[in-house]
Structure 1
Amino acid sequence: MRNSMSRRALGALGAGLLGAPALPGRAAASTWPDRTVTLVVPFTPGGASDTLARVISQHFPRFANGQTLVVENRPGAGGLVSGGYVAGQRPDGNILLMADIGANAIGKELNPRLGYDPMAAFTPIIQLVNLPAVLFAHPSVPERSVQEVIAKAMASPDSYTYASAGVGNGSHLFMALLCRRAGVSMVHVPYRSGSEIVTSVLRGETQLGFPSLSSALQQLKAGSIRAIAMGNPGGSPAMPGLPPVSDTLPGFDIAVWYGVAAPADVAPELAQRINEVFGAVVALDEVRDGVFRTQAGQVVGGSPADFGRFLQREYDTWTPVIREGGIRTE
């Protein structure tokens, strides 16, 4: 599965050494888009990915021949409903996917009966943003550092409960990776969204959570829940001074991310054109500032090949966590 991605996505998009295929897009790249473009979002309105998509849609016509970007929400199965839909569309750039970890990297591992292979069914276009994740606790939890949490979990296996936004969601995998790296076990309690993680910990139904910082920032600043560590080594200016998990577990580096993907076999010239349009939108100061202000996130950008390599790294990182943890959504 992984080799097919390297052949189809990286080779074709990165250098075009094999020659451009006779598919829609080669001749039309310079004029794309010539009609309304649909960006399919795998989650319900109001979440981080939907908010980002709608910000992009506001500025899209400026760089896209005046054409409109329509946001279409197709939630379900942790992103796999949207992924399956877009994977079956024509590779002409008119229907695109707001890419995320489930639909575009690990879906086949979570559900072996999935009708498409995420590592072969898409053309990577661009990585849009990284949103930092934060490990936090209910105020009654006495442990205040990752070291103390690990020590408690080692001494009393399964003594902690943690909330996630669903089986196989990033907030589940982030904690599963921490447990795997530390050699400890905790009890997983799945919910349906990042806001429900925060509510669960607030109410004391669970003790820990590891969602995107944006979903927990308001309650963290209010002191209703207590931050323990950031998921990425660089931390976040929104939580100055909060240490990263990597201080205790070297190499630990996670984030919530979103990008744009198209159906497989988009011609390299068209993929590059789509990349340039979305890249121009997220490079706008008002978009960058908005991503940070509303979601404490950072715009990434880069080439289609850059995004393809990133997806491969995500697959390589999370596949052993999923397999060894027996994590399934089927």
Structure 2
Amino acid sequence: MIKITRRAAGAALLPLLAAPALQAQPAWPDRNIRLIVPFGAGGAVDTLSRIVAARFPEVANGHTLVVENRPGAGGTIAGAFTAQQRPDGQTLMMADIGANAIGKELNPSLSYDPMTGFTPIIHLVNLPSVLLAHPTIEARTTQEVIDLARARPDGYTYSSAGNGNGSHLFMELFLRRAGIRMVHVPYRSGAELVTALVRGDVQFAFPSVSSALSMIREGRVRAVGVGSPAGTPLLPDIRPVADVLPGFNTAIWHGILGPAGMDRDLALRINAVFARIAAMPEVVEQVARQQAGQMVPGTPEAFATHIRTEFDTWAPIIREGNIRAS
């Protein structure tokens, strides 16, 4: 005969007592989810969002991730909209540095504070940037660009996708770290900044690799340095700028966040769903092939720390340069 002690009986009941609490956790999602994208259809952020959305039903109880583009004002139109929503997990945003980190530094009248208006959920991807030169420029390396600019202060121009855009800030950081000067010529989009360089209207630019890759491969622009310290396999012969300027890092990042005040348990459940998508080999391969991107999922706390680090990096550049959004 097996004797059951009072202590053993109590231990046996623990899983039963815990079961209702586990069952009480609502499934996420229990309906279709809206993903706010701060830029227009067809761009790098939209493409990433749709790659993620295509696999969402597989890990989200069959529900759909509905991509909703709300472009304008450097992403802050989408940011303002998302910040006003309920933190119930039904409306999320594909995070961007402008809308979700430095927007108020670029536009002090912004209706929300990017550093307090959101709940970081998961860092998804880093995309490398690239220092480009027009083919007529003699420089073929980062150091040669620096040497040319030192010999002709203010003698060269560079294009960006607008005041305060990443392509503007990346070049400003490069110029400051290198101790050189160039004249800034802002355009309205990443496509326009690359086109200006192809035409020879400017001599340099610092866009994302994905926005310029076809032009690089066709020889219409020349890649001279990669902004990410690890470089990129899509440009295996191009060395990182960090080889010349140690610590230099201008990776473009995106992730998922929701409005401020979201319950931590809900944020963790959402994090788990997107982490599963980010780990899918097909997604990893597609993002790498189409955007030169690296999937980098982690915890909500890690994403919050990353956003704060980005703010601390770029806010001084914006303030010292008196940079304002276009």
Shift in Å at residue 28 of structure 1? Answer: 7.7
Find the aligned partners of 1:145 and 1:273 in 2 and give their Cα distance: 46
Does 2:227 align with 1:239?
Answer: no
SS in 1 for 2:181: coil
Find the aligned partners of 1:92 and 1:164 in 2 and give their Cα distance: 37
Of the three residues 243, 249, 253, the one matched with 1:253 is 249
Does 2:205 align with 1:209?
Answer: yes
- The equivalent residue for 1:52 is 48
Does 2:75 align with 1:79?
Answer: yes
Query: Which of 182-191 and 287-296 deviates more?
Result: 182-191
Of the three residues 258, 261, 264, the one matched with 2:260 is 264
Of the three residues 121, 131, 147, the one matched with 2:143 is 147
Of the three residues 120, 125, 144, the one matched with 2:121 is 125
- The equivalent residue for 2:111 is 115
1:39-94 alpha-carbon deviations (Å, 9 max, x no partner):
00000000011011111111111111111110000001110000000000000010
- The equivalent residue for 1:199 is 195
Distance 1:28 1:325, change over 3 A: farther
SS in 2 for 1:82: helix
Shift in Å at residue 180 of structure 1? Answer: 1.3
Find the aligned partners of 1:230 and 1:329 in 2 and give their Cα distance: 25
Of the three residues 159, 171, 176, the one matched with 2:172 is 176
Shift in Å at residue 192 of structure 1? Answer: 2.0
Shift in Å at residue 151 of structure 1? Answer: 2.3
Find the aligned partners of 1:28 and 1:101 in 2 and give their Cα distance: 36
Query: Is 2:124–2:278's contact at 8 Å kept on the other side of the alignment?
Result: yes
Find the aligned partners of 1:310 and 1:28 in 2 and give their Cα distance: 32
Find the aligned partners of 2:285 and 2:140 in 1 and give their Cα distance: 31
Shift in Å at residue 30 of structure 1? Answer: 3.5
Shift in Å at residue 29 of structure 1? Answer: 5.3
Find the aligned partners of 1:73 and 1:304 in 2 and give their Cα distance: 24
1:110-168 alpha-carbon deviations (Å, 9 max, x no partner):
01111111000000011111111110111111122222222222232211111111111
Find the aligned partners of 2:24 and 2:109 in 1 and give their Cα distance: 36
Distance 1:138 1:43, change over 3 A: same
Query: Is 1:29–1:273's contact at 8 Å kept on the other side of the alignment?
Result: no
Query: Is 1:161–1:187's contact at 8 Å kept on the other side of the alignment?
Result: yes
Does 2:305 align with 1:309?
Answer: yes
Give the greater-gyration-radius structure (CA). Answer: 2
Find the aligned partners of 2:209 and 2:190 in 1 and give their Cα distance: 10
Query: Is 1:138–1:201's contact at 8 Å kept on the other side of the alignment?
Result: yes
Does 2:29 align with 1:37?
Answer: no
- TM-score, scaled to structure 2: 0.91
- TM-score, scaled to structure 1: 0.90
Find the aligned partners of 1:28 and 1:120 in 2 and give their Cα distance: 30
- The equivalent residue for 2:5 is none
Of the three residues 49, 58, 64, the one matched with 1:62 is 58
Aligned residues: 305
Find the aligned partners of 2:270 and 2:166 in 1 and give their Cα distance: 27
Find the aligned partners of 1:279 and 1:28 in 2 and give their Cα distance: 23
Query: Which of 123-132 and 149-158 deviates more?
Result: 149-158
Query: Which of 190-199 and 162-171 deviates more?
Result: 190-199
Any gaps of 5 or more consecutive residues in structure 2? 1-21
- The equivalent residue for 1:135 is 131
Find the aligned partners of 1:256 and 1:222 in 2 and give their Cα distance: 24
Shift in Å at residue 34 of structure 1? Answer: 1.2
Find the aligned partners of 2:23 and 2:300 in 1 and give their Cα distance: 19
SS in 2 for 1:275: helix
Distance 1:234 1:28, change over 3 A: farther
Measured on the aligned residues, the alpha-carbon RMSD in Å equals 1.4
Find the aligned partners of 2:122 and 2:188 in 1 and give their Cα distance: 27
Query: Is 1:28–1:270's contact at 8 Å kept on the other side of the alignment?
Result: no
Any gaps of 5 or more consecutive residues in structure 1? 1-25
